[in-house]
Chains A and B, each alone.
Chain A
Amino acid sequence: KQEVTQIPAALSVPEGENLVLNCSFTDSAIYNLQWFRQDPGKGLTSLLLIQSSQREQTSGRLNASLDKSSGRSTLYIAASQPGDSATYLCAVIKAAGNKLTFGGGTRVLVKP
């Protein structure tokens, strides 16, 4: 059974500092890993999608890496801003699966 873990559960940084968010998964037979952002009580916004054959994806200040063999992904957010405060979730799709399996999320607070 695929299990996805995100550590730490919560993170507080001063504005301008780089953010490093971790995601680990137990079954390396995945199609994709997707990072989402969730604001309190709101929906999930897709940030980055990494296919299993890729090692990283970049979008603006965001960079996500994937090491499938070790079951890890890292989301880097450069030069954090208060508007980056949210919960970040990673999710994997198992090969020939039928659902996204989510981690518990990392709640980020960027202090001005």
Chain B
Amino acid sequence: EAQVTQNPRYLITVTGKKLTVTCSQNMNHEYMSWYRQDPGLGLRQIYYSMNVEVTDKGDVPEGYKVSRKEKRNFPLILESPSPNQTSLYFCASSYSMDVAGTEAFFGQGTRLTVV
């Protein structure tokens, strides 16, 4: 089954404790991206990757890191989480961002709470 898998689904952590949210896709997609969803602000892009070893900042990259060492994986790293990073996070993938008709697939989301 074609899917984007995020782990963990729920996470409560303390301020300053480094954490990683994993994302994996099994569709051989080149493009992967992270979004966060907050009430009243909607979905905003954090980072994206056009292919292996190619990553770039989205609209709200501060406080986050990513890496793309393999095509299927795109982990989101919070080096020193703060309460303002409490949010619902989504990983997405698609074959390309440069071809009309390319559908985007989303993971089930990770609910992160930083206390």
Contact = CB atoms under 8 A, between A and B. Distances in A.
B4 to A, nearest CB: 9
Interface in B1-17: none
Interface residues of B, number: 27
B22 to A, nearest CB: 15
A46 B62 CA distance: 28
A103 B42 contact: yes
Most chain A CB within 10 A, of B33, B98, B102, B104, is at: B104
B92 A51 contact: no
B23 to A, nearest CB: 12
Given A97-B97, A98-B48, A42 B42 contact: no
Most chain A CB within 10 A, of B35, B88, B106, B111, is at: B106
